[in-house]
Amino acid sequence: MKEQYIVAFDAGGTRLKVVVMNMDGHTHKAFYTPSYASAGAEALFNTMLVTVESIKQELNGELAGIGLSLSGVIHPDKGVVYLPGKFKMLEGYPLVAKLKEVFKVPVIADNDGRLAVYAEKYAGLAMDHDWVVGLTIGTGVGSGVIIDGKMLTNRGLQFGVQVGHLIQNSSGNLFCLTGNYGTGETLCSATALVLQVRGAIQRGITSILSDDYFSDPISIDFEKIINACRSKDALCLRELENWSNNLANLIVNAVHAYSPEIIILGGGATLAADLFLDHVQAAVNRQVFRYPVGEPVPIVISNMQEFGSARGAALFLKHKLQADVKLLDA
C-alpha cells in the first residue's frame, strides 16, 4: 500500500509556503514559492496546481488531501469569503472547490492565524498549555487563541480572533483594510517596519540604505532593514525600537483580553527576534496589568518559524481525515 500524504499551503501576501506531511505527522519537506498576490487568485490557483503535480511526480505515494491556510474570513468548503483588497480577487474565489475538482481529494481551508496556533497546540510550544495567544508576524499580523484548552472560534465562520485588528492609535494616519486607523496590523507587521524606514529615508534622514532607496524604493524590504540593524544603522535601529514598542503594546492588549500562560510569535519577522524580543519582553512585563502582580508573561519564538500555518493546515486536515475514518469504522 502506498504511503498517503497531505500537501498544505499557506498563502501569504508575498510567498506561498508549502508543507508535505504524511499521515503519521512527519514532514517530508517544507519550502516556499512566490504567491503572486498582485496577479490575483487565478495565478495562485495555477501555482498550487503546478506545485501539487510536481510533488505527486516526486513522491511515490498517494495524495490524501490538501490543506489551505488563508488570510481573512474563511469558509472551510469555499476559501476566502471576506478579505477586501489584500489579495487581488481572492475574496469569493472558489479555491477549495476548484482544487477538489482537479485532484478528487478532500480539501479544507481555515484562517492562517488560527492554524498557526493549532500547529503549536498539537506539535509545538503550546502542547503543555491551555491558555495561549499566538501571533504570526509577516505581511500582516495573524492571530489565534486557545482558551482553557480549546481553540477560540465563533459563529463568524470560525474567524476566531483578530488581535492584529485591535486599534492601537486611531489618531495616526495609517489606514487598515478593516476600515480603521492605527490597528496592530498597520503598526506591528513586517510591512509596518518597512514603511516606517522608507518614510524616514524619504524625509531625508540618512541611512546606509539611502542610495538603494532612491534607486529603487521597493528594494528596501524587511530583510535589508534587519541587515542594516545588524550593521548598527541608526535610522533602522531607531525605527525597529519604535516598531518593537508597538508590538509590545499589542501583546499587552492580548494579555489583558485573554490572560494567556504564554505568547508564541511566528512568521517571517521572528527571524530577527534576537534584535527585538528582549526589548518586547521587558516592555510587556513592565506594562501588563495582571495578578499575581509582577508575574511575567513568557514570550517565545515558534520553532516552526515561517511554516507554522502550513503545518497547522496539514495537521488540521490529518486529524479530520483520521476522525472520519474512525467514524466510518465504528
* pLDDT tens-digit readout, 190-224: 999 999 999 999 999 999 999 999 999 999 999 99
What pLDDT does 250 receive?
97
State whether 188 and 148 are in the same domain. yes
Q: Which three cell numbers stand for residue 98?
A: 476548484
C-alpha distances out from residue 6 to 45, 59, 86, 308, 312, Å:
17, 11, 27, 15, 12
Q: Which residues pair with 265 in a beta bridge?
A: 135, 301
Q: With CA atoms as reference, report the closest residue to 77 among 109, 117, 122, 41.
A: 109
120 domain-assigned: no
329 domain-assigned: no
Q: Helix (H, G, I), strand (E, B), or coil: what is residue 248? A: helix
Are the beta carbons of 96 and 68 closer than 8 angstroms? yes
255 domain-assigned: yes
Phi, psi of 259 (to 5 degrees): 50, 55
| 328: pLDDT strictly greater than 60 | no
314 domain-assigned: no
* C-beta atoms surrounding 72 within 10 Å: 22
Are the beta carbons of 103 and 116 closer than 8 angstroms? no
Phi, psi of 105 (to 5 degrees): -135, 165
pLDDT digits (tens, 9 = 90+) for 28-85: 999 999 888 788 899 999 999 999 999 999 998 999 999 999 988 899 889 998 887 7
State whether 58 and 149 are in the same domain. no
pTM above 0.75, yes or no: yes
Residues in the chain: 330
What pLDDT does 130 receive?
96
CA distance 317 to 215: 46
Number of domains in the chain: 2
Q: Domain of 62?
A: 3-110
Q: With CA atoms as reference, report the closest residue to 320 among 48, 66, 147, 55.
A: 66
Residue type, 226: I
Taking all residues of the chain, what is their mean pLDDT, rounded to a whole number? 91
CATH number reported for the structural domain that contains residue 39 in this entry: 3.30.420.40
State whether 186 and 54 are in the same domain. no
